[in-house]
Amino acid sequence: MPTPESPAASEEVQALMERIRRRIEEKKRSGVYSPEDLERIERICLEITGPEGEADPGDLSYRLSQLSYLCDTARPPEFRSHRRILGPLVQGVKKVIRRLTEPYVQMILQRQVAFNRELVGLLNQMVLDIRFQGSEGEKRWERMEKALQEISRTLETFPRELKAQKNAFEEVLGRLRNLSVVSPEPVLLEDLRERVREGEYARFEDLHRGKEEDIRWRQKQYLPYFRDRGPVLDIGCGRGEFLELLRQEGIPAVGVDTNREMVARCREKGLEVEARDGLAYLKERADESLGGVFLAQVIEHLEPEVLREWIRTAFFKLRPGGVLLAETINPQCLSTFSGAFYLDLSHKNPIHPEAARYLWQSLGFQRVEILYLSPYPEEMKLKEMVRLEDDSYEDELARLFNENMRALNALLYGYQDYAVVGYK
């Protein structure tokens, strides 16, 4: 039983055969071998590289080399004889017969030769295609391996992301449990989302609205309009600054706000506040049951038709002499558009003071006042030029410059807010 060759021995044989092939090719090119010698060498190479009895069926290179050698039936056969005495005579006779029959045989074999060549060419092309497909398959396999590695890395990070989402959800649930305003009905997903949005807006107010003591100081100027006019309804009461001022003055008041977190804060202060839509609550009140309605920074959140309905409803709910006072951002001060107005994403429409006056008057209010509030500090305005020497030309130039400066200040740095006061 033959023993298998070691890998090292096999490599040495292959290297030796490769050197022999190169030397044979060099001699072929130099014309050392005759056609008969070339035919004999090719046959020997085939026998050495893979004899038929030991050929590997999967060795396509060997099979193709054999087909390429055998496909040409027009190749002159090599006549040999093992007889020592008659051998040369037999070979000579065979060659004579071959020369005599060759024209007739060639006519028959031409089609076979063409068929053989086409078949071998097709097989060679198929082998190339198979090898190409194998190469493409390897590339696809590599891409699949890379994709699987990417998926594996994603799956490795998934537990951490899931844990982070779980922690965020638990934090939201914890905030909702701490709310003092809780409905006895089951909390739906949309309700959860709404409460999260309300909490975000409350934090936004804390950050950009200003400190509560600053807001109370600014809103003190409205108290004279509500003295001896209770009860007062504060719509959109927010953190309850104005309700606290009314309580200090002994003026009965109630607040409404749609933001439940704001309502919870007001109730912690002992204020009477309901988590309701302001317009719906106003409609439920009896006609002529209120002495005043107050809206601070609310009407800019409303669409025009909704605002008209609010004003009309408030008119019927107020007693004669009652007051509807609404504070909002003044669009005549252009700098407010770079700050207060567009800072709050829930703002819809700036309302011009004269447009507000018209709405109040057209919906029944007899006397309407416009209060311009929150002026810019002088140090934030443009400075006027001071005359340095007594010269008439320079005096006139300074006067015109200062006049223009005052006009520019009025345009850019006018009153930031205004309030509409309507008397029934």
Instruction: Please state the three-class secondary structure of 294-360 as a single string.
Output: EEECCHHHCCHHHHHHHHHHHHHHEEEEEEEEEEEECCCCHHHHHCHHHHCCCCCCCCCHHHHHHHH
Q: Is 73 helix (H, G, I), strand (E, B) or coil?
A: coil
The residue among 11, 132, 28, 112 whose CA lies nearest residue 70 is: 112
Q: What is the pLDDT of residue 351?
A: 86
Q: What is the pLDDT of residue 200?
A: 53
This prediction's pTM: 0.48
Domains within the chain, CATH numbers bracketed: 11-141 (no CATH), 212-423 (3.40.50.150)
The residue among 60, 70, 72 whose CA lies nearest residue 124 is: 60
User: Cα(29)–Cα(31) distance, rounded to whole angstroms?
Assistant: 6
Q: What is the pLDDT of residue 355?
A: 92
With a cut of 50, list the residues of the chain below it in pLDDT: 1-5, 50-55, 57-58, 180-187, 189, 192, 196, 198-199, 201-202, 206
Residue found by looking up tokens 């400075």 in the block? 383
Q: Tens digit of pLDDT for each residue in 264-314?
A: 889 999 999 999 999 999 999 999 999 999 999 888 888 889 999 999 999
Q: What is the pLDDT of residue 210?
A: 65
The residue among 399, 424, 108 whose CA lies nearest residue 287 is: 424
Residue found by looking up tokens 């500090």 in the block? 377
